[in-house]
Amino acid sequence: MKTKVLAIDDSRTIRNLLAACLEEAGFEYHSAVDGREGVDIYPDIAPDVVITDINMPNLDGFGVIEELRGEDINSKVPILVLTTESSADLKARARSAGATGWITKPFDDDSLIFALKRVTGAVA
C-alpha cells in the first residue's frame, strides 16, 4: 500500500513539482489549492502525511496545523511545512501549533523524499 501524501499549496507550480517528485518516488499524491480545501478534504483522503505552505488564502498553514491538530484522530499524522519563509519565529510558531518539520522552498527532491520517509516510516 502506497503512503498517501496531502500537499496543500496555493501555487500550481509547487503542486505540479510535488506531484512529479512524489509520484515518481511511489507515493500516492493528493493536493489542495488552499488551507480550507486541504482541511475539508483531509477526512476523505486520510493521508499518512501532510505537507502545507504557510502563506495561502482562505486558511493559512498555521490554521491548517491548528485545525488538524484540534482533532484527536489527527494528532499523530506528521505535518511538514514547505515554505519560502525561514525565520526562527515562524518555525517556533509552527512547532508550537503541532508541525513535525520544516522544509524551505525551493526544495530538493531527494531531501523531501528522505524527510517523508523518515516521518512516516515508509519505503514509499
**Using one digit for the tens of pLDDT, what is the confidence trace for 26-61?**
999 999 999 999 999 999 999 999 999 999 999 999
Mean pLDDT of 12-32: 96
108 grid coordinates: 530538493
pLDDT at 106: 87
> Is the Cβ–Cβ distance between 57 and 50 less than 8 Å?
no
The answer to the question of residue 123 being in a domain is: no
Q: Does position 110 have pLDDT exceeding 90, yes or no?
A: yes
pLDDT at 71: 66
The answer to the question of residue 122 being in a domain is: no
**Which CATH number do you get for residue 101?**
3.40.50.2300
Contacts of 121 (CB under 8 A, 6+ apart): none
Handedness of CA 82, 42, 22, 121 (dihedral sign): positive
Cis peptide leading into 106, omega within 30 of 0?
A: yes
Rounded to whole angstroms, the Cα distance separating 76 from 33 reads 23
Which one-letter amino acid corresponds to residue 5? V
The answer to the question of residue 120 being in a domain is: no
The answer to the question of residue 40 being in a domain is: yes
**Could you give the number of structural domains in the chain?**
1
Report phi then psi at 8, rounded to 5.
Answer: -120, 110
The pLDDT confidence band at residue 70, using thresholds 50, 70 and 90, is: confident
Q: Give the residue from 19, 18, 97 showing the smallest Cα distance to 54.
A: 97
